[in-house]
A = this chain, B = another copy of it.
Amino acid sequence: MTASEIRALFAVASRPEVVSLAGGMPNIAALPLDALAVEVADLVAREGQVALQYGSAQGRPELREQICEVMALEGIRADPDDVVVTVGSQMALDLVTRIYCDPGDVVIAEGPSYVGALGSFAAYQARVVHVQMDEHGLVPSLLRSALQSLAQQGTTPKFLYTIPNFHNPAGVTLAVPRRAEILAICAEYGVAVVEDNPYGLLGFSGTIYPALRSMDRDVVYLGSFSKTFASGLRVGWALVPPAVRDRLVLAAESATLCPPSFNQMLVSRYLAAHDWRSQVKTYTEAYRDRRDAMLRALETHLPEGCTWNVPDGGFYVWLTVPEGVDTKAMLPRAVTARVAYASGTGFYADGFGSRQLRLSYCYPTPERITEGVRRLAAVLEAELDVMRTFGTPARLPATPPEPRDGPQAPSPHTP
């Protein structure tokens, strides 16, 4: 394990004067807290003896049925018996890695990929081979090349880890025609597929894309209520093939005995009693406004030579800066200028990404986003100015000093 390179960032960036475009904290301001307060009180008063007691390692049957209904929106037909409730989908990802990988095994992931996934792969000493994306997501021909090349070395990767919808951090969505193609390539090379889909219901056009799992029952599917309801409850899940299910339940038992009963029952009540799909729509409308604010600000303020995607859902814009600018080296100067971002190298296992950075529009208000991008543009201009004068950007320490503690700072891995 190596220290997360964006850990320090979050401690500094959590100062109120800094506009943080770094974290992936969902915007839960629109949650109906008064109604939820009534719900939790009733849960404790009426079902407290169950909610405050141990439960089963696999999770509550009622919630697993509701999870199947949620997944049906993406075309998935699943048996609640094959669902394992986890403490956030991060736990599902971590345990799936534990089950599939021995040290030295290879995992295929998009480049860039989710930093929390790279953390779990590193924890189990799996080696990551990245495959590039374009504006339509993972490129099938490049996936095939990578698998061919690994096969020539006698290596079969344990799985492809992919985020098909509103990718973190790249913001792109896997084109629907590519989905079957990618499944076919993986099947041909005997590679399992792990589909991580925390943002699937957060599309700005209202489109819900068919899950890879809806096309292939052997796909391992990871889901989460962190973005559709509340991240602080830490309720996620894995849908796995029956052959994997018992091993996953055993691993989950070893990891936490059982997920918190209370949190599962609250999610169940929320899904049953509240119009949760309208709530997701409310969330999504706020995210779209924020995306629009970010795109407008990028267009208006960024210097020439920067490129970025236009995300159609989710939380993130992936920005490429002009050649010669090192986003990791620039970060302390950005934070000094009161704007924070996640530098690109954290999203690669192989040191790539120094010209990239991730901007999150999920949490700050549109006004703050605009101001943050304005500040970022000024930092970039200054960087380019130094380059034009001296031919190289000024060299400062690559990262701020590691703080002893980051109280209340969101985890650097927050999706």
Contacts and interface: CB of A to CB of B under 8 A. Distances in A.
A28 B1 contact: no
B48 A31 contact: yes
A344 to B, nearest CB: 20
A54 B42 CA distance: 24
B28 A37 contact: no
Interface string A31-66: 101101110111111001111111111101100000
A53 B414 CA distance: 10
Contacts of A44: 33, 36-37, 40
Contacts of A405: 58, 61, 81
A116 B251 CA distance: 11
A34 B25 contact: no
Given A28-B49, A45-B34, A258 B233 contact: no
B54 A94 contact: no
A405 to B, nearest CB: 6
Given A40-B41, A123-B251, A52 B231 contact: yes
Nearest to A14: B56
Interface stretch (A260-268, A321-329, A382-390): A260-268
B28 A52 contact: yes
Interface string A17-29: 0000000011011
A258 B234 contact: yes
Nearest to A115: B253
Contacts of A51: 232
Interface string A220-254: 00000010001111100000000000110011011
A51 B54 CA distance: 21
Contacts of A415: 257
A257 B37 contact: no
A91 B256 contact: yes
A94 B261 contact: no
Given A33-B48, A263-B260, A254 B119 contact: yes
A25 B53 CA distance: 7
Given A91-B255, A91-B256, A408-B61, A33 B45 contact: yes
A113 interface: no
Given A48-B37, A52-B31, A411 B260 contact: no
Interface string A96-120: 0010000000000000000010011
Contact of A232 (B91, B231, B262): B262
A412 B232 CA distance: 27
A63 to B, nearest CB: 11
Interface of A: 1, 3-4, 25-26, 28-29, 31, 33-34, 36-38, 40-45, 48-58, 60-61, 81, 87-88, 90-91, 94, 98, 116, 119-120, 122-123, 226, 230-234, 246-247, 250-251, 253-263, 404-415
Given A28-B49, A88-B256, 11 more contacts: A3-B246, A33-B44, A37-B40, A37-B44, A56-B408, A58-B405, A116-B254, A119-B253, A232-B260, A232-B261, A258-B414
The 8 closest A-B pairs by CB, nearest first: A52-B230, A41-B41, A232-B261, A52-B232, A33-B48, A37-B45, A37-B44, A37-B41
